[in-house]
């Protein structure tokens, strides 16, 4: 997986290692719970199937980096956010509630 900062390629990630260049290789300590990882994997698969880019952004990322507890996550997609939310919700049993907002925004509410 390529790693970008401000749209510039800064390194790669594979085999639990971040490589910035041949001399700078860092072990990556997983920050996501198994549940979070599974949810984000499904979001990624659905985004790929819909041919939209999707990004995990905001406070969730910051809180994971500083080891603070998290309760929600923001995903930005370059496309139809409502379609993405509905398609993601369809992959779960029971199906979570999807709330719609202005500007093509949606929230998936897992109970």
Instruction: Give the Cα separation of 78 and 30 in Å (integer).
Output: 26
Helix (H, G, I), strand (E, B) or coil at 18: strand
Residue 85 confidence (pLDDT): 95
Residue 7 confidence (pLDDT): 74
Who has greater pLDDT, 86 or 17?
86
Please state whether 85 falls in left (phi above 0), alpha (psi between -120 and 50) or beta. Answer: alpha
- Does position 107 have pLDDT exceeding 80, yes or no? yes
Q: What proportion of the chain, given as a percentage, has pLDDT over 90?
A: 37
Who has greater pLDDT, 50 or 1?
50
Q: What is the pTM of this model?
A: 0.72
Instruction: Give the Cα separation of 93 and 107 in Å (integer).
Output: 17
Q: What proportion of the chain, given as a percentage, has pLDDT over 70?
A: 92
Residue 94 confidence (pLDDT): 94
């Amino acid at each position: 997986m390529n790693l970008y900062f401000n749209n510039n390629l800064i390194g790669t990630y594979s085999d639990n290692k971040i490589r910035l260049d041949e001399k700078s290789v860092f072990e990556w300590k997983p920050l996501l719970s198994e549940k979070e990882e599974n949810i984000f994997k499904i979001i990624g698969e659905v985004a790929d199937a819909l041919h939209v880019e999707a990004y995990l952004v905001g406070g969730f990322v910051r809180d994971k980096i500083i080891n603070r507890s998290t309760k929600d996550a923001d995903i930005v997609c370059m496309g139809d956010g409502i379609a993405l939310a509905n398609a993601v919700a369809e992959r779960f049993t029971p199906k979570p509630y999807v709330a719609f907002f202005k500007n093509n925004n949606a929230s998936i509410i897992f109970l």
